[in-house]
Structure formats: C-alpha cells, structure tokens
Amino acid sequence: MEENREFKFSIVRHIGVLAEGTKGWKKEVNLVSWNERPPKLDLREWDENHIKMSKGVTLNPQEAGILRDLISDLDGVFGGH
C-alpha cells in the first residue's frame, strides 16, 4: 500500500531567525500553514530558498501561549542571555 507523502506549506509570516548554520540553513520562527490548514507557530531550519527543511516543531495557538509563559519564567536562568 502506497502513501501519498506530498504536502503543501505556506509561510504566512516570517517572525525571525534564531541562528544560521555553516551551510546557510537558518533556524527560523515562522507562522506556517500546512496543507492549507490554519497557520501554526513553527520552529525549524530552512535552506536559503525555503524549499528544503529540517524536522521541526509546530505549535497551535494554545501551545504557543503556554510556551511563551514558560519562557518568560526563565528570566535570569541563563545569566541574562
């Protein structure tokens, strides 16, 4: 039995770059619509043309809010970084 592994994605909003690798791939935070569904907060590495991507993490709005709250509790944990 064969599965259709094709999917569609659209970067609805670019939020920012967290880091850039030595080969030009960038770890980004974006709002991405997968398969024409409502956009989710997305963290992953992308090639320079946003065609190839690494595995990543997607969060719905509720999960993104929880992550925001958890991160805000980290103030000072990393010595101000």
Tens-digit pLDDT profile for residues 1-30: 555 568 899 999 999 999 999 889 999 999
Between CA 56 and CA 27 the distance in angstroms is 10
Fold classification of 9-72 is Transcriptional Co-activator pc4; Chain A (2.30.31)
Give the tokens for residue 24. Answer: 């030009």
Between CA 23 and CA 63 the distance in angstroms is 31
Q: Report domain extents, the chain.
A: 9-72
- How crowded is residue 15: how many other Cβ atoms within 10 Å of its Cβ? 13
Q: What pLDDT, in 10s, does the model give residues 18-73?
A: 999 988 999 999 999 999 999 999 999 999 999 999 999 999 999 999 999 999 98
Report field, pTM of the whole predicted structure over 0.75? yes
The closest alpha carbon to 19, from 56, 45, 48, belongs to 45
Between CA 46 and CA 64 the distance in angstroms is 20
